[in-house]
Amino acid sequence: MNDLRNGEAPHPQALQSDSGFGRALTSTNAASLAVVPSSAPAAPSRWRRRLLLGLLFVVVAAGGAEYWWQHRVPPLPAGIVAGNGRLEADPLDIATRFAGRIQELRVDEGDMVKAGQILALMDVKDLETSLRKSEAQVEQATKAVAEARANVAQAHTQVVLARQQMERAESLLKNGWITRELFDQRRQQLESAQAMERAVNARVLAGEAALNAAQHEVELFQVHIADNTLVAPRDGRIEYRIANVGEVLPAGGKVFTLLDVGYVYMDIYLPTAMAGQVRIGSDARIVLDAYPGRPIPAKVSFIAAQAQFTPKMVETRTERDKLMFRVRVRIDPGLSRSHAEAVRSGVPGVAYVRLDPEIAWPQGLQGAP
């Protein structure tokens, strides 16, 4: 310790002699030696993280740039306007006309059906029983009419006989061979036979009317039974199955929702300046997000007569376009039916409308699907 005060380096033996100070110094050096190796790799680790983050940023930026390039909207020439929308097919509700129980379902969601195809059968046991009853009434009325017509023939013969007797009595009365009383009897018999003939003819008419009523009732039950067989009114795709077998539905109960593939369209919204130049029948193109390279030919089929607020799902180019006109662009029915398998309701896309027929479509909108 004295050597340290005098500024001289301590002798090793001196350090060893002072046990407390030596142990402290030795422990301090050991701690220093233990810390240095653990803190040395810290700087390279931070640089490695920064390098990875930088590479990740470059990859994300490159992917975003590529996506923007592939999905960017090319500039449109003057005279062609566009609007966002969704492809839609006209929905048709397949519903019951009468209350009843579903007996059989022959299609399901997603199935393609043809016009006239049977989709579902309703339980018609009660109607079939009523039909058999009406058919029996028709048979009964037919026999009644036949009997009435036979009575007409019989009554006619009575009239003929009574007329002949009346004519003979009239001749005999002129010669004085019979009395006036007998002549009056013959005349009364003739009038009675004629009245009977008229009555029998009336019965024939009544029987024929009853027969017609029974026949119409049979036809009515046949129509009701046919109406309980649900058929597809048009070609299309089953979008929803709303009811199941065994369910009892009221009159007008929905069983299916059918998408008419012959009426496929897209509604877009255009501001006043653009909508005012659109005409019914204007040429158009529909480009779906799912098929960006396959423009679909279409025509403008409807233009709203009144402006409305822009729906929230429709994006506009400027915030000041608050009131828009709905314009419907419809695909040709023959074209949509020929591609019925590809029709998907709700697919987003863009509809392009050509305001000036003299303007040629851009290269990317000239093709057909």
Cα separations in angstroms, 150 against 141, 191, 196, 215: 14, 20, 13, 22
Name the burial class of residue 129, with classes exposed (0-12), middle (13-18) and buried (19+) by CB atoms within 10 angstroms of its CB: exposed
Q: Which residues pair with 348 in a beta bridge?
A: 86
Element at 68 (helix H, strand E): helix 42-71
Residue in this structure with the two tokens 């158009």, named with its chain if needed:
284
Task: Show the CA angle centred on residue 331, arms to residues 68 and 369, nearest 5°.
Answer: 55
Contact 159, 214 (CB under 8 A): no
Q: What pLDDT digit, counting tens, does each position of 262-319 carry? A: 999 999 999 888 888 899 999 999 999 888 888 999 999 999 988 876 555 555 545 4
Cα separations in angstroms, 291 against 151, 286, 305: 80, 10, 32
**N-to-C CA span, the chain:** 101
Q: What pLDDT digit, counting tens, does each position of 325-353 carry? A: 899 999 999 888 888 888 888 899 999 99
Give the whole-angstrom CA distance, residue 270 versus residue 325: 5
Of 182, 180, 177, 150, the C-alpha closest to 165 is 182
Number of Cβ within a 10 Å radius of residue 37? 8
Element at 33 (helix H, strand E): helix 19-39
| Per-residue pLDDT tens listing for the chain (369 residues) | 334 334 343 443 333 334 333 343 333 344 333 434 444 455 567 777 777 777 777 777 777 666 655 555 556 778 899 999 999 999 999 999 999 999 999 999 999 999 999 999 999 999 999 999 999 999 999 998 888 888 888 888 888 887 888 788 777 878 778 777 787 787 888 888 888 888 888 888 988 899 999 999 999 999 999 999 999 999 999 999 999 999 999 999 999 999 999 999 999 999 888 888 899 999 999 999 888 888 999 999 999 988 876 555 555 545 445 678 899 999 999 888 888 888 888 899 999 999 988 888 888 887 654
DSSP letters spanning 106-134: ---TT-EE-TT-EEEEE--HHHHHHHHHH
Task: Specify the pTM.
Answer: 0.61
